[in-house]
Structure formats: structure tokens, C-alpha cells
Amino acid sequence: MKIAVSLCCLLLAGCAKHESNWDKREVMIPMRDGVKLHTLIFAPKKAQGKLPFLIERSPYGFDNGRAERTLATRYKELAEEGFIFVLQDIRGRYGSEGEFVMQRPVRDRSQPNSIDEATDTYDTIEWLLKNVPENNGRAGLLGISYGGWLTAMALIEPHPALKAASEQASPADMFLGDDFHHNGAFRLSYGFEYVSRMETGKTQFIFDFDKYDTFDWYLSLGPLSEVDKRYFHGQKPTWNNFVNHPNYDSFWQQQAVQKILTRTSVPNLNVAGWWDQEDYWGPMKIYETLEKNDADHKNYLVVGPWRHGGWGADGESLGPIDFSGDQSKYFREKIEAPWFAYWLKDKGSLHQPEAMAFETGRNTWERYNAWPPAEGIERRKLYTAAGAALSFDPPRSDGFDSYLSDPAHPVPYRQRPIPPTYSPNSGWTTWLVQDQRFVDQRPDVASWKTEPLQDDLVVTGDIVAHLFASTSGSDSDWIVKLIDVYPENDPKLPGYELMIADEVFRARFRKSFEKPEPLEPDRVYEFPIDIHSASHAFLRGHRLMLQVQSTWFPLIDRNPQTFVENIYKAKAEDYRPATQKIYRSAKFPTYVELPVQR
């Protein structure tokens, strides 16, 4: 008890000491339509001269000491550089007035006083410039995840004083590649639990599962149609949107960042993590989109060895994977703080290259003139072969590998038990680096691997798998994983199977995400599947593995494998087993195309 009391005293003393460094103001900033947003302003007491604003807007709240903890940890290096920090609750969340709308649509500019996240940011900066003394007339904006999306939205109509931004782990398209869907396949566990958490009033709520292993809970739930019937009862707007928009219609397209933010006048540092379990696709897509119109060179990219938002925490390792030093601190100290100091304070020189990527495997930061890089890259095809082999030699004989995919017995996406996403020690943040041996020898997972490498093989850029496959059903999911298999004599991780790139593709969308079509049973189709980019060295003695399966539960909802118009309304009898065949012949050569450094 004495130890606990002493520890509490130390923590309180530390907080008091920290707070004494700031002049704190709590204000309600009026927007153009009269709604007021709760805002905390922290100005350093010992500031030397006028300082710029650094703004974070969030739906997650800054009360109960979170603001002070954020300044002391996530923004430690930026605080040492010197900024006036502004932390704001968006509409309808925590202390702010108004109605919360998940990913609020872009406003109709023809309507007077119409609002969106861009106008709320604009009005906030305008108020700050006029009402906060000792500012230098410049503002920066940053945020992670939803905060990253809010940052991206502000770039649509930027205030003239907004001189630098850093979009970090922002979703770009909720149907094609981020939180709620990947290539049209619904991210069940995350979608259900995030909606439960966010659309429950002004604060957050954690759904109370009656089973510790959510794999069992979601499986016993049955078809997706049971969710609203049992739990949501039409009261969750975002879930209603899932059900009513099962295809890539105007609802999804009107909020897709890559369609509404095609250029920016504000320097933007896009930040992503190789093992981001929520929004890896988003920042990469935003960077790619802005790059097409970046004549003034204001679009930059940094990708590190991180989970979702991991650059704001310790970065020495992720799960059992070591990165030879704290790469998160490196980013905050050597990249992020100098970035904002340069644009907002005219301090130093801009040494930031077009793109920086952390090369995993060899654990080094590399600098590039473009991403994905083209110079020094050779596209090589790695083919599936007989005997569960992978080879750079194309197949010369006919053959295929097959498995039975049964929706009643889906493949778990990670080792069970699978706790709720938002529970303590849920494992959600590190599942992408989990050893994939837990699915080895399953009859519904197909695997192929190379012989041990004689030399290092460095893959840098976008990776695309080309599946030549058939199914006995009329719809199917294909999950593809590229894996680094460690040697059995590795001193730290013997035989470890580390996932480097992965993705799911819902076959009904093979021609169009807007207009799905059934598959013809037992017909061979080619499915080009972008499994995303990487910067990874497969070291000498390691093997490359390609793995294919058709369920990834409950991360991805179960495909009925019988074509229905709307999977959210499928019935239990629609879910049927199907025989899946992956071909490896001269006519139908399944392969993964790798960007290999020469």
C-alpha cells in the first residue's frame, strides 16, 4: 500500500510539474453556423518570442488528463521545439456542441453557412489568430487515424495561415482499403466494435461481449442480418450505411479522400506503418493521389515499422520483432519536429527526401526520390509449383492445389482466443506480426515456399499476386499473404513465419466494385490482387512463403460462397462449403510479382 501511495504521489507531482510549464485555456470556439467547439489551448510559459499554433482535432476527447499526457508523451519532442498546442473536440463529441456525423461529408459550397470538417478547421484557425496572443500568424495541423482524416479534410479548403500539415494513418476509402472494408470485403469485428464504441452519444462505449473468445461470439451470431436484429435495432447510422450500401456506390465514393482531395497548397507529410492493423492503405493512397499534381513538391511520405499510430509510442519492437533501436523516437525527433519547425518557424533547412521508408529485415532507414521507387528495381515473378514449392522458374506442367472452404469452420485471422478489440491486452495492435505457423497444416489453407535463400533478397515497392483460381461456388474470398520464414536455427525466432504483405479480395467485385457479378462455378479466373507495398530484406537462409485461404474470421465477414445481392441480408442457408482450386500451369501460372532491388 505504501508503494502504491508513493507511486501516486510521484505521478501527481510529475503532472503538477508538467502543468506548470503551460498556460492553459479552455474555450468554446464559435463556428460559422453558431455551434461552439470545446478547445484546450496550451501556451508555453517560457516562450521566447511569438510561436505558431500546432492543432490536433479529434473525436476521442482530451479530458481527464489526456491532454496533459499527450503533451508529455506523444508531443514531447514537438513541445521541446516550442509551439502553442491546440486540442479540439470535433462536433458532437465530448465538450463540443452540435451533432456528430461519422466522417462528415464535404459541404455543398453553394449553401450559405454550410459546414464540414474543413470549415470547422478554418474557423478555428481564424479565431485563434485573433484571440490568442503571442502567435506568429502560422498554424500547423496533424493527427493520427480519425485525426489524420480530419487533417486531410482541412486541406480541401485550407486557411491561408495553415502552413504545414501531417496526415498520419488517415483512412482514404472505407470501401476499398481502410477500416471498414478491404476490396469490398467487410471487416466484421472492427466494423461492429467501432460502431458500438462511437455511435453511443458524446463519449465512448465498449460493447459487452459475453464470451472472451470473440471468434466463438461472432460465429454463433450467424449471418450479418442478425446484428441489427439482436443489437443495433436501426439505431446505428453507420451500421445502417453498411447494410444499405453493400457496393461501391455514390455513398462511399463521395467520402473517398482520393476523389475529393487531389491537390494541396499546404506541405503535407504523409505517415504510415508497415504493420498498421487499421489504416495502412489510406496514407499510401493519399500520398499517391496528391503526387499526381505535386508540381510545387509539397507532398512527402514516411513509412516506418509501426502498428497503427505506433510512431507516437515506443518503437524498439513490435511483438517479438526487433527494430534495432527506437524508430518511433527517431521519427518524432529527426523527422516530425524538424518538419514543423521548418515550415512554421523558418528554422533550419528541409532535409526531408520525397520518401523515407524503413527497410525491415536489415533495420535501416532508406531515402527515395519517388515511391514506389523505379530506379534499380526489377519486377520478378515468383511462381507456385508442385510439392508446395515457390520458384522464379515458370511452370512447365499442368496442375493445381485445392482445399475445401467451409463458412461453418472459418480460418481464424490470428491465434485464438481472440479478445475484444478494445479490451486490455487484446493483441489487436500486434496481430499482423503474429507467427503464421498457427495455420500450418490446416486443410483449408494452401502454402508454397522457396528453398532457403543463398543471398539477401530485398523487396522495395508494390507487390501484386496473380491468382489463377476457380471455385465450385458462385462467390468467393481470396486472402493472400507473403511471409518471411525464418531459419530453424535462428537464435531468437527459430522457424518464425512473419507476414510481410497481405490482402483480401472479394471475387464478386473482380470486374467492378460498383456492380458485382456471380462467378461461374469451376471456371478459372485470373485475380490480380494488390497486397500492398513493402520495404523488406528477406535475408540469406530465410525462405519466402505464399499463402492463400478463403476465410479470415472474424476480421473479415464470412462470404456465403453463394452469390447473393446483399451479403448483409444473407440467410443462414446461403452459406455453403466450396472447393477452391489454385492453378500452377503454363496456361494458368499463379505467381506473385515482386519489386526486387538489383
Which DSSP string do the residues of 281-304 spell out, in sequence order? HHHHHHHHHHHTT-TT--EEEEEE
Q: Residues 428, 576: one domain?
A: yes
Helices 281-291 and 146-154: crossing angle in degrees, nearest 10, is: 20
CATH number at residue 449: 2.60.120.260
Residue carrying C-alpha cell 461492429: 192
One-letter-per-residue 3-state SS of 152-209: HHHCCCCCCCEEEEEEECCCCCCCCECCCEECCEECHHHHHHHHHHHCCCCCCCCCCC
**Residues 6 or more apart whose Cβ sits within 8 Å of residue 291:** 299
Show which of 324, 347, 368 is a domain's final residue: 368
Report the number of distinct structural domains present in the chain. Answer: 2
Burial grade of 197 (CB within 10 A; 0-12, 13-18, 19 or more): middle
Q: Where are the alpha helices (DSSP H) in 53-169?
A: 66-72, 76-81, 117-131, 146-154
User: CB–CB of 521/471 below 8 Å?
Assistant: yes
Q: Residues 31, 146: one domain?
A: yes
Computed from CA positions of residues 387, 392, 396, 398, in that sequence, does the dihedral angle turn out positive or negative?
positive
Q: Is residue 559 part of a domain?
A: yes
Q: Is residue 439 part of a domain?
A: yes
**Residues 6 or more apart whose Cβ sits within 8 Å of residue 135:** 50, 51, 52, 53, 84, 128, 129
Please give the helix or strand (H or E) that residue 366 lies within, else none: strand 364-368
Q: Which domain holds residue 361?
A: 20-168+261-368
CATH number at residue 48: 3.40.50.1820
Each residue's pLDDT expressed in tens, for the chain with a length of 598 residues: 333 333 334 333 444 444 468 999 999 999 999 999 999 999 999 888 999 999 999 999 998 899 999 999 999 999 999 999 999 999 999 999 999 999 999 999 999 889 999 999 999 999 999 999 999 999 999 999 999 999 999 999 999 999 999 999 999 999 999 999 999 999 999 999 999 999 887 887 889 999 999 999 999 999 999 999 999 999 999 999 999 999 999 999 999 999 999 999 999 999 999 999 999 999 999 999 999 999 999 999 999 999 999 999 999 999 999 999 999 999 999 999 999 999 999 999 999 999 999 999 999 999 999 999 999 999 999 999 999 999 999 999 899 999 999 999 999 999 999 999 999 899 999 999 999 999 999 999 999 999 999 999 999 999 999 999 999 999 999 999 999 999 999 999 999 999 999 999 999 999 999 999 999 999 999 999 999 999 999 999 999 999 999 999 999 999 999 999 999 999 999 999 999 999 999 999 999 999 999 9
Q: Residues 314, 421: one domain?
A: no
Q: Is residue 421 part of a domain?
A: yes
Strands 578-583 and 457-471: antiparallel
User: CB–CB of 158/265 below 8 Å?
Assistant: yes
User: CB–CB of 99/241 below 8 Å?
Assistant: no
User: CB–CB of 269/336 below 8 Å?
Assistant: yes
User: CB–CB of 271/142 below 8 Å?
Assistant: no
Q: Is residue 55 part of a domain?
A: yes
| pTM for the predicted model, two decimal places | 0.95
Q: Residues 338, 394: one domain?
A: no
pLDDT score at 20: 66
Q: Residues 449, 349: one domain?
A: no
Give CA–CA dist 429/276, Å, rounded: 8
Q: Is residue 448 part of a domain?
A: yes
Q: Residues 278, 397: one domain?
A: no
Task: Tell me the backbone φ, ψ of residue 196, rounded to 5 degrees.
Answer: -60, -35
Q: Is residue 217 part of a domain?
A: no
- Tell how far CA 349 is from the center of its chain: 31
Show which of 368, 396, 417 is a domain's final residue: 368
Q: Residues 405, 483: one domain?
A: yes
Q: Residues 408, 340: one domain?
A: no
Q: Residues 582, 471: one domain?
A: yes
Show which of 368, 401, 422 is a domain's final residue: 368
Q: Residues 337, 457: one domain?
A: no
Give CA–CA dist 12/33, Å, rounded: 40
Q: Residues 289, 437: one domain?
A: no
Q: Residues 588, 566: one domain?
A: yes
Q: Is residue 249 part of a domain?
A: no
What is the DSSP secondary structure assignment for residue 569, as one 8-state letter?
G
Q: Is residue 547 part of a domain?
A: yes
